[in-house]
Every structure is written in structure tokens, then in C-alpha cells.
């Protein structure tokens, strides 16, 4: 992470660096943090962010696949272990620029999908030009070059 950056004016960078003490962190390690979305689309709506700034899904490279897999795994773990959510009811995904409200990569973990309202189901509808599942973003990245 020698090229890792933190942007002064990015709210998620402030959360990741501990400069926003109003956000309760549900999980963190040296690479990611997980916390509740301030505008939940269902009973449980969490965000996973990298602790360094990545603008969004269009900035991802094949080298980011392990980061995305970790974000996905930890979101499911937190939803399952801390909120007793059935894994089959979880929607994991990303908004596609320019349809992002915060320009810092963040994966949504929403559950149960059946409790989402009509508008939320449209905002978080997979396979649209504005939202895709985490797995489709991961699968869409080219393979990392062999080293």
C-alpha cells in the first residue's frame, strides 16, 4: 500500500482514518472497514470500504480482486454473525459511476432483500447501468498478469 492515499475531503477517507468519530465501526482490519449505511435500504444495510482511497469500480484493476473478495466475505460474516442474517437474503453490490453518492469505493451489503421498499429495489437493482452485484464486478475484472 505504498501508493495508498487518503483524501482530505472524502467522508469515507475521514471514517477510515478515524477522523469521523460519529461512525460506529462494526469490523475493521488493516485493509477495510465495515459500518452501517446512514440511509438504509432494508433492515440491515452495511458498507465495506477500503481504508485507502479508490474512486470507484471504474478505477479497479485485476490486482484489486483480493480486496473485493475480502470486502464481500467480511460483509457476509458481519451480517451473519452480528445481525443473524440468512446469507441467502443478502444483496452485495456497487453503484456504477456517475450513480454514486460518495466517490470512494464502497460495497453495499443489504439484507433481507425482501424488506426493501419499491424505490430501494430500483436503486439497488442488479444488472442495471447504475448498480451491479459484487460478483459481477469481480468477474468483470480481467485476470491479473502472471508474475
Residue 26: which CATH number? 3.30.428.10
- Determine, yes or no, domain membership for 87: yes
Residue 96's domain spans which residues? 11-140
Say how many C-beta atoms besides its own lie within 10 A of residue 77's C-beta. 14
- Determine, yes or no, domain membership for 5: no
Number of domains in the chain: 1
In the DSSP assignment, the letter for residue 144 is P
- Determine, yes or no, domain membership for 1: no
- pLDDT above 80 (res 147): no
- Determine, yes or no, domain membership for 4: no
Q: How many CA atoms lie within 13 A of 106 on its CB side?
A: 23
Q: What is the pLDDT of residues 40-96, one digit of tens each?
A: 999 999 999 999 999 999 999 999 999 999 999 999 999 999 999 999 999 999 999
Active site residues: 106
DSSP secondary structure string, 2-50? TT----TT-HHHHHHTT--TTSPEEEE-SSEEEEE-SS-SSSEEEEEEE
Residue 143 confidence (pLDDT): 78
Amino acid at each position: 500500500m505504498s501508493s495508498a492515499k487518503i483524501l482530505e475531503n472524502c467522508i469515507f477517507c475521514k471514517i477510515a482514518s478515524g477522523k469521523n468519530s460519529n461512525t460506529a465501526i462494526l469490523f475493521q482490519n488493516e485493509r477495510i472497514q465495515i459500518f452501517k449505511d446512514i440511509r438504509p435500504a432494508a433492515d440491515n444495510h452495511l458498507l465495506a470500504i477500503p481504508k485507502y482511497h479508490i474512486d470507484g469500480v471504474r478505477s479497479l484493476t485485476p490486482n484489486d480482486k483480493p480486496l473485493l473478495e475480502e470486502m464481500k466475505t467480511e460483509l457476509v460474516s458481519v451480517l451473519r454473525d452480528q445481525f443473524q442474517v440468512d446469507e441467502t437474503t443478502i444483496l452485495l453490490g456497487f453503484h456504477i459511476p456517475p450513480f454514486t453518492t460518495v466517490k470512494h469505493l464502497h460495497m453495499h451489503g443489504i439484507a433481507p432483500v425482501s424488506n426493501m421498499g419499491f424505490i430501494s429495489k430500483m436503486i439497488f437493482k442488479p444488472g442495471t447501468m447504475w448498480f451491479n452485484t459484487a460478483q459481477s464486478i469481480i468477474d468483470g475484472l480481467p485476470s491479473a498478469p502472471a508474475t
